Structure formats: structure tokens, C-alpha cells
Structure 1
Amino acid sequence: MRWANTLMARRIRRRGGTMMGFNTLVLLTVGRRSGVERATPVGWFPGPDGTRFIVASANGAADNPAWYYNLAAHPDRVRIEVDGRTVAVTAEQLRGTPREQAWQQIVGAAPRFGQYQEKTDRELPVIRLTERPAGD
């Protein structure tokens, strides 16, 4: 899987844009056990005020993807590569009404996420990424 992620991240860095019908970015997290930086290509959806939503869907697997746990372990060390630049972000898991509003937007734009939700018993986490001010 790391090999495939590396290839997809390289493609996103070179070409940007979309992959498999989604806007894409490279999510940079720090491994919760290894401490090594990990690059994971993920689809994103526009949120209000320039924020971005990502979903820890793992294609509807029983467990969250590894990047989700890395995010939780090192929330102060999350960055994204998008539009040819690297940006420090704050990652916040949405709950309640904000999650439901974002979720409706996401499944409206990409119905396959609704199918992923149907495949699993866990509620798929929706994460809001907000750019941190320079120097933070």
C-alpha cells in the first residue's frame, strides 16, 4: 500500500488536480509509533472559508485508515500539499450538526462515500482541514 501511495502522491505533486473524480491533495502526517513522516493521497471537498473536508473512509473497511490515527497522535504536525505548495493545517474531526452538514455535501458530490458508509458499522470520520497562519 505504501508503494501505491508513493506513486499516487508523486502523480498528484506533478499534475495536481483530480484523481478518480476527486480533488486530491497529499496529506502529510507523522507516524504515531514510528515518528516518520507519511504522505497519503486523499480526496478532498471544499468547505466554508477555504477549509477542506477529508473522510477517513478506507473504502468502507472495518477500521479507520492509518493516517487517521497519525492525525490524532500528532495534530500539531499535519501538513498538506495542494496546488503546488505545502501548507500547515489544523485538523478537526467534525461531530454532530457540523459533521452532518459536511457529510450531506460530500455524499451529494461523491455518492460512493454513502456506499462506503453502508459497508461498515463505524461512522466515517469527517475531518476539516484549516490552514494555520504562517509561523504557527
Structure 2
Amino acid sequence: MSGRTRRVHPVVVRVGTTRLFLWLAPHLLPRVDRAAHRLTGGRWIPSRLFLPSVLLTTTGHRSGRPHITPLCAYRYTDGSWLVVATNFGRAHQPDWSTNLRHRPEATVTCGGRTHQVIAHRLSPAAQRAERARILAILPLYDHYAARAGDRGIRVFHLVPRGGGSPD
């Protein structure tokens, strides 16, 4: 596996499956990350302490307004990213993944730099091929997939616009 992703600490995996975390995290973590992002001028989000994370800005498919979402992300050496729409295993798809399905142009902010990307949804076969990378960024994937049930989990490859590396 090539890429720039560090291992996730086992404590994060244990905490990430608790009832309290699964109830609180979807509401609290994105707000904290967005606030820290604003306060640090886009250089840092707290989630990066625990998981490899970026901020994804999508365009609302109905509203046309920008929406910023902190996400776990695997960064490939070519400068593209892999993101997984687990939504903590909740019953509905996360809004950001629906936005990408309708408007695949987005931006990724990582380390204070913003990159224009195009989202490509992976097929089930491609998702299986990327399993090692998915588990590298989100060891809780199987737990969240089981909770999500029949809705399935969308996985996207975010490719820099123009095909070149963003660095």
C-alpha cells in the first residue's frame, strides 16, 4: 500500500464503537473540526489527532450553497484522495456523498492548502480492491457497514482537477 497515511491507534477503534461515541460524534465532531479550521486559518482540525482527515467542500445539490465536512481520507502518492461515506453507520447516506453524486466538483482542504477535485464513485468491485486503504483510514469500517445495513456505503476517489498532483 503506497500513500501517506499513518496507523490509527487501537484506542480510537475501541472508543469509536461505543454507544456514547456513536450517539455524540456525528453531531459534535464536525462542529469542532469546522471551528478549529476557521480559527487556525485552515491549517488544522482536531480529528487529525486520531484519524487521517481532510475537509471536503461540496456544493449542495438543491441549495447550490457550499457545505464543509470533515472526513477521514486516504491520500495517494499521486495527490488524490479516497473518502468513505460511512456516516458512523447511521441509516441514511451522508449529505456530502449525495452532493458529490449530483455535483462531483469539490475541494479538499488539507494542511492549510485547498485543492480542486473531481469525485468518482467506486463500484463495489473497486471498493473491494481498495479495502486495505479503507481500513487504513477507518478501521471501524466493518462495524459501521454492519450498522448501515442495506443502504451500502459509498466510496469516492477524489482526483485533482486536470489530473495532476496538487502538490
Q: Which amino acid aligns with 1:89?
A: V
Deviations along 1:74-100, one digit per CA (max 9) or x if unpaired, are 113x11111211111010110133211
Structure 2 portions without partners, runs of 5+: 1-25
Whether the 8 Å contact between 1:103 and 1:126 is mirrored in structure 2 is: no
Would the alpha carbon gap of residues 82 and 5 (structure 1) be closer, same or farther in structure 2, given more than 3 Å must change? same
**SS at 1:22 equivalent:** coil
Question: Are the aligned partners of 1:90 and 1:129 in contact in 2 as well (CA < 8 Å)?
Answer: yes
Q: 1:112 to 1:20 in 2, by over 3 A?
A: farther
SS class of match (2:63):
coil
Question: What are the within-5 Å matches in structure 2 for residues 1-136 of structure 1?
Answer: 5-12=30-37, 13-16=42-45, 18-19=47-48, 21-47=50-76, 49-76=78-105, 78-121=106-149, 122-133=151-162
Report the secondary structure of 1:50's partner residue: coil
| In 1, Cα distance between equivalents of 2:130 and 2:118 | 17
Shift in CA distance, 75/110, structure 1 to aligned 2, threshold 3 Å: closer
Q: Which has the larger radius of gyration?
A: 2
Answer yes or no: is the 8 Å Cα contact 2:33–2:45 preserved in 1: no
Name whichever of 103-112 and 53-62 sits farther off: 103-112
Amino acid at match of 2:51: F
Preserved CA contact (<8 Å) 2:43 2:111: no
**In 2: Cα distance, 1:3 partner to 1:115 partner:** 20
CA distance in 1, matches of 2:27, 2:66: 12
Counterpart code for 2:90: A
- Distance in structure 1 (CA, Å) of the matches to 2:100 and 2:159: 14
**Distance in 2 between residues matched to 1:59 and 1:4, nearest whole Å:** 11
Matched residue type, 2:157 = R
Q: Give the alignment's TM-score, normalised by structure 2.
A: 0.69
Give the whole-Å Cα distance in 2 for the aligned partners of 1:52 and 1:17.
19
TM-score normalised by the chain length of structure 1: 0.83
Give RMSD over aligned pairs. 2.4
Q: Residues of 1 paired with 2:90 and 2:46: CA distance?
A: 26
Structure 1 position 18, deviation (Å): 4.8
